[in-house]
Amino acid sequence: MKEKVLVGLSGGVDSAGAAKLLLEAGYEVVGVHYVFCRGASLEKAKAVAERLGIPLISENHERMFARRVIRPFGEAWKQGITPNPCVECNRNMKFYCLLKTADRLGIRLVATGHYARMERDGSGRHFLRRAVDEQKDQSYFLWKLTPLQRERILFPLGDYTKAEVRRLAEGLVEKKEKESMEICFVPDGDTAAFLEAEGYGLPAGEIVDREGKLLGHHGGLHRYTVGQRRGLGVAMGTRYFVTKLDPKNGRVVLGPEEDLMVDRFFVSHLRFHSHTRRTCPTEGLSVKGRNRGNGVPCRVLFEDGGATVIPSQPVRRLACGQSACFYQGDLLLFGGVITEKKQKNHMCNM
């Protein structure tokens, strides 16, 4: 008897390709389409399911999404933190809902069109590796998945390139189907306008340099993030960047690029995958502070509340609230949240 698997179907190329691969592997596939926010396309998902010859379930969870993803997103910005909503959505919405629906239907396994590889070691633990297609790898967004979630998840696309998946999905999706690179609930990319419309905007304040000299005024801290160079609202004779957000005083601090460079930073809220804190290597790692790129060589010092990360060379400071993922080769060891912590020897704060 074929084993059933519940597949999240968005109507796009990746989820269609994942469902097709599972069918070819001999699984009995059931599709589910979740409506979390505006922009979800049930009609496209129905079309894919019909062409694949699989049943499709549809569920609306907009209220839960607003409570679990949008509200924390807005509250973080109000504290001067730049959050990563995709990480929270994967753990608290996508896979939470998939497993709840699967339990109701008596299905053990769930799958999505994420580019990552899930493997199991000799003791039965499930852990993540980067996808074969390094440009599409999404393991960075999956570091918060719990052990109980990981043991029931399949990622069929992990061993395929995007080009191969596009060929797999031919005839299943619209030929002109475009990938979305924006936050799903901010489809036009205007985060500041979204936050203001949702009541999470912040009041106007001062723009200052690192010495506190007044350079101008801003329309709200939610319009800025650390590392930003464009749209600063002041005319400078040299290239300046946002180097710090000061929510206590409502200030945006600007400085030259050198002010962004740090030789260590701190991460908290650690979640380990292939190791425990006690067994995790501390040398020969690489850290990714954003989804793109292969990461920077580093070592880590575990301590109470998290870990201090020491890159092999100074790196540009990342905004508090962003995720940092740590790898040994293509194996995800653990992830954490970049957090402000005063370092000894007047190291830069993160």
Q: Which of 168, 191, 213 is the last residue of a domain?
A: 168
pLDDT score, position 24: 96
For residue 298, the model assigns a pLDDT of 96
> pLDDT category, 179, cuts 50, 70, 90?
low
Asked if residue 27 is part of any domain, the answer here is yes
Alpha carbon 301 to its chain centroid, in Å, reads 24
3-state secondary structure of 30: strand
**Residue 59 burial (CB count, 10 A):** 13
Task: Specify the number of domains making up the chain.
Answer: 3
| CB-CB contact of 266 with 341 (8 Å) | yes
The residue among 117, 66, 120 whose CA lies nearest residue 92 is: 66
Task: Report whether pLDDT(304) > 90.
Answer: no
Is the model's pLDDT at 348 over the cut of 60? no
Q: Are 290 and 318 in contact (CB under 8 A)?
A: yes
> What is the pLDDT, as a whole number, of residue 138?
95
Q: What angle do CA 130, 131, 132 make, to 5 degrees?
A: 120
Q: What is the mean pLDDT of residues 88-98?
A: 96
SS3 state of residue 336:
strand
Is residue 178 situated within a structural domain? no
User: CATH number for the domain including 281?
Assistant: 2.40.30.10
pLDDT above 60 for 146: yes
| Domain boundary pick from 168, 185, 215 | 168
Q: Identify whether residues 142 and 23 lie together within a single domain.
A: yes
* Residues 76 and 70: beta-carbon distance below 8 Å: no
Residues 273, 247, single domain; the answer is no
Q: Is the pLDDT of residue 205 over 70?
A: yes
Residue 346 has pLDDT above 60, yes or no: no
Same domain (yes/no): 247, 270: no
Query: Can you tell me the distance from the alpha carbon of 121 to that of 289, in angstroms, rounded to the nearest whole number?
Result: 27
Range of the domain at 160: 4-168
User: Do 87 and 8 reside in the same domain of the chain?
Assistant: yes
CATH of the domain at 243: 2.30.30
Tokens, residue 124: 């039965």
- Inside any domain, residue 180: no
Mean pLDDT over residues 49-69, rounded? 96
- Exposure class string for 191-211: b at 16+ Cβ within 10 A, else e: bbebbbeeebbbeebbbbbee
Which residue shows structure tokens 């600007």?
Answer: 254
Please name which of 193, 230, 172, 167 lies closest in space to residue 48, comparing C-alpha atoms.
172
Cβ–Cβ under 8 Å, residues 348 and 317? yes
> What local confidence, expressed as pLDDT, does residue 187 receive?
78
Q: Are 20 and 76 members of one domain?
A: yes
On whether both 108 and 10 belong to a single domain, the answer is: yes
Question: CA nearest 348: which of 264, 281, 225, 223?
Answer: 264
Is 206 part of any domain?
A: yes
Task: Tokens for 111, please give them.
Answer: 């799958």
φ/ψ of residue 91, rounded to 5: -75, -50
Asked, for residue 231, whether it belongs to a domain, the answer is: yes
Paired sense of beta strands 251-255 and 205-208, if any? parallel
- Taking the C-alpha atoms of residue 267 and residue 302, their distance in angstroms, rounded to an integer, is 10
Paired with 328 in beta bridges are 331
Tell me, what's the pLDDT at 156? 97
| Domain boundary residue, one of 238, 259, 280 | 259
Q: Note the Cα 293 to chain centre separation in Å.
A: 14
Per-residue model confidence (pLDDT) at position 305: 87
Annotated catalytic sites, by residue? 89, 184
Q: Which helix (H) or strand (E) holds 31?
A: strand 28-35
Q: What is the mean pLDDT of residues 284-305?
A: 90
pLDDT at residue 68 in the model: 96
Over the range 326-347, which residues count as b (16 or more CB within 10 Å of their CB) and which as e? bbeebbbbbbbbbbebeeeeeb
Dist. CA 301–CA 336, nearest whole Å: 13
pLDDT level of residue 145 (50, 70, 90 thresholds): very high
Whether 117 is covered by a domain: the verdict is: yes
Amino acid 307: pLDDT: 96
Question: Which pLDDT does position 9 carry in this prediction?
Answer: 96
The whole-number average pLDDT for the span 299-322 is 92
Q: Are residues 44 and 98 in the same domain?
A: yes
Q: What is the mean pLDDT of the chain?
A: 90
Q: Which residue has the higher pLDDT, 179 or 171?
A: 171
Residue 27 shares a structural domain with residue 139: yes
Residue 120 has a pLDDT of: 84
Q: What pLDDT shows up at residue 181?
A: 60
- Please tell me whether residues 207 and 292 are part of one structural domain: no
Neighbours of 104 (CB within 10 A): 10
> Do 97 and 10 share a structural domain?
yes
